[in-house]
Amino acid sequence: MRMIAFASRNFKEIIRDKLNIFFGIGFPVVLLLLLSLIQSNIPIPLFEISNLAPGISIFGLSFFSLFAGMLIAKDRTTSFIYRLFTSPMTESDFIMGYALPVLPIAIFQMLFCYIFSILLGLEISFNILLAILVSIPCAIIFIALGLLCGSLFSDKTVGGVCGALLTNLSAWLSGTWFDLDLVGGGFKFVADLLPFSHGVNAAKSAISGNYSEIFNNLLWTIGYTVVLMIISIIVFKQKMNSNRK
Amino acid sequence: MAKAIQTINLTKKYNGFCAVDSLNISIEEGELFALLGINGAGKTTTIKMLSCLEKPTEGEAWILGNSILTKSQKVKELISVSPQETAIAPNLSVKENLELMCGIYGMDKEQVQKKTKKIIKEFELDEIIDKKARLLSGGWQRRLSIAMALITEPLVLFLDEPTLGLDVIARRELWKSIVKLKGKVTVILTTHYLEEAEKLSDEIGIMSKGKLVAVGTAKQFITETGAENFEEAFVALYERGKVK
């Protein structure tokens, strides 16, 4: 009950911020439209809608780190959190209350992104739902990163780390904008070690019906999900307790 | 009568600096206890310790018999705090803020509706009920913040400078609400306004440099110091505490 009340507040705080709506929903759609226009003039396989839609939907998820991180970092500077710390809310109420409301918004964003892609020519199939499903670990990765950054940094720093650094890193290293094999070397090695390209590849494999390719990529993203979630929970708890010392 | 709040040698040190020094207070149930002192006297730190927000360096305190060290979760169910700064969720409406507090204290839907309706009437929040909290004036935000502390009907209430920044009319209105709590809720109120402490409290504690230098009523302080009024008595007691 406590967690639900708090999660409901956080959900409202996020969706009532117009910038969140623009970056969460509008920006990926604008990118889809622009890149599809480029594709119609200069066709390249990477920007075909079946490749583009999974990439942009994963890239769009990176903004959820910013939303979650900003909310936590801003709360930490206010008396509102002081009031909540003196209430019967437990540590898990706080963690779940921050993390849970972001997930349905992230799923809605992916759904919106794919529906828009259908308008741009993506074939309607069950594979779209599968792509959304296999992208959920990626959504949780970004939420965990938001929890982590929001617990550690000020809202200004979260804006820089999550809003600029993370979105760019996840874009470059995901293979959405260019083929990682073309760059190769150390860049590809690092990209392969991180979860972003695996998230995109899992969603691409789902869309193309290449089901056997999903599992390997999914293992990477699920592994990162578990590790990052554990780290962010530990850090969040430690920061919460240090505030109370 | 049982003690609502009791502290024994409650102490808080930050890197060697003693913010609260061996505080011993005992407050009866239903009493309104005012903590007076200049900035940095240790009033807010005391409230932070009693509300389980900060752990004491030494000493112990009990809220309605529950230790703040070993039964903090129970303590949190019994208390409510209105912090010094306005503590509201900015993007939520006034009604949503009130409902949020009810939800956080585990009330069901029916209770939420009942309590929200009651507090809206009590604090005359009808005209701003659907307004986003961030769009309210400072005075209204403060009123909402205090209503959020009261909606959970706590047994012990901490009001940290509740009327700071309020105009005279709003302050008087709030006083009326606070007076209504007397006898039902145990209140610790910190304030800079001597008139507020004199009018509202059953007992006053004066803090200076983290120490409780005097406890009594305004009348007792005036008699004890031979001062002409409470303000002069306060200054005399404060200076005495400073010398100690």
When CB atoms are compared, the residue of A4, A16, A79 closest to B103 is: A4
The pLDDT confidence band at residue B1, using thresholds 50, 70 and 90, is: low
Please give the residue range of the domain that contains residue A87: 2-244
SS3 B169: helix
Q: Do B91 and A80 touch (CB under 8 A)?
A: no
| Interface confidence (ipTM) of the complex | 0.89
Distance from CA of A93 to the nearest CA of B (A): 10
Would you say how long chain B is, in residues?
244
Closest CA to B229 of B207, B203, B197: B197
Beta-strand pair B186-191/B17-23 = unpaired
Q: What are the tokens at A162?
A: 């999550």
Question: What residues have CB less than 8 Å from B102, skipping those under 6 apart?
Answer: A5, B111, B112, B115, B116, B151, B152
Q: Do A87 and B105 touch (CB under 8 A)?
A: yes
The total of structural domains in chain B comes to 1
Q: Do A86 and B91 touch (CB under 8 A)?
A: no
Closest CA to A83 of B146, B10, B64: B146
In a domain, residue B124? The reply is no
Question: What residues have CB less than 8 Å from B129, skipping those under 6 apart?
Answer: B93, B94, B95, B120
In a domain, residue B50? The reply is yes
Q: What are the tokens at B27?
A: 């407050």
Segments of chain A scoring below 50 in pLDDT: none
Rounded CA separation B34/A82 (Å)? 21
Rounded CA separation A41/B168 (Å)? 69
HSE at residue B184, side-chain half, CA atoms within 13 A, is 8
Residue with tokens 């919106």: A112
Q: Which strands make up the sheet holding B79-82, listed edge to edge?
A: B79-82, B156-160, B186-191, B32-36, B203-208, B211-216
Average pLDDT over all residues of chain B: 92
Q: Do B103 and A80 touch (CB under 8 A)?
A: no
In a domain, residue B110? The reply is no
Rounded CA separation B203/A234 (Å)? 44
For residues B67-81, average pLDDT: 95
Q: Do B103 and A5 touch (CB under 8 A)?
A: yes
Q: Is B53 on the interface with A (CB under 8 A)?
A: yes
Strand runs (DSSP E) across chain A, as ranges? Answer: none
HSE at residue A243, side-chain half, CA atoms within 13 A, is 21
Please give the residue range of the domain that contains residue B59: 3-85+155-243
Q: Do A244 and B73 touch (CB under 8 A)?
A: no
Residues of B in contact with A80 (CB under 8 A): 87-89
The pLDDT assigned to A128 comes to 97
Percent above pLDDT 70 for chain B = 98
Q: What are the tokens at A36?
A: 């599809």
Q: Is B77 on the interface with A (CB under 8 A)?
A: yes
The pLDDT assigned to A243 comes to 62
User: B2 and B29 in contact (C-beta within 8 Å)?
Assistant: yes
Taking CA–CA distances from B74, the nearest residue in chain A reads A88
The total of structural domains in chain A comes to 1
Rounded CA separation A173/A196 (Å)? 6
Q: Is B129 on the interface with A (CB under 8 A)?
A: no
In a domain, residue B191? The reply is yes
When CB atoms are compared, the residue of B90, B91, B104 closest to A2 is: B104
Q: Is B138 on the interface with A (CB under 8 A)?
A: no
The pLDDT assigned to A179 comes to 86
In a domain, residue B149? The reply is no
In a domain, residue B196? The reply is yes
Q: What are the tokens at A98?
A: 């921050």
Residues of A in contact with B103 (CB under 8 A): 1-2, 4-6, 8
Residues of B in contact with A90 (CB under 8 A): 73
Please report, for the domain that includes residue B187, its CATH number: 3.40.50.300
Q: Is B83 on the interface with A (CB under 8 A)?
A: yes
Residues A39-96: tens digit of each pLDDT: 888 888 888 899 999 999 999 999 999 999 999 999 988 889 989 999 999 989 999 9
Is the pLDDT at B93 greater than 90? The verdict is yes
* Mutation target vs A (from B104, B115, B135, B144; most A CBs, 10 A cutoff): B104
The one-letter amino acid code at A4 reads I
**H or E segment at A218?**
helix A211-244
Taking CA–CA distances from A16, the nearest residue in chain B reads B91
Residues B133-167: tens digit of each pLDDT: 999 988 889 889 999 999 999 999 999 998 887 88
Distance from CA of A155 to the nearest CA of B (A): 16
Q: Is B84 on the interface with A (CB under 8 A)?
A: yes
Indicate the pTM of the whole model: 0.87
In a domain, residue B220? The reply is yes
Distance from CA of A70 to the nearest CA of B (A): 14
First to last CA, chain A: 27
Question: Which whole-number Å values give the CA distances from B8 to A212, A225, A245, B60, B111, in the listed order?
Answer: 67, 47, 19, 5, 37
Rounded to 10 deg, the angle between the A2-15 and A91-99 helix axes is 30
Is the pLDDT at B243 greater than 70? The verdict is no
* Mutation target vs B (from A3, A71, A87; most B CBs, 10 A cutoff): A87
Residues of B in contact with A4 (CB under 8 A): 103
Taking CA–CA distances from A240, the nearest residue in chain B reads B53
Is the pLDDT at B244 greater than 60? The verdict is no
Q: Is B149 on the interface with A (CB under 8 A)?
A: yes
The pLDDT assigned to A59 comes to 93
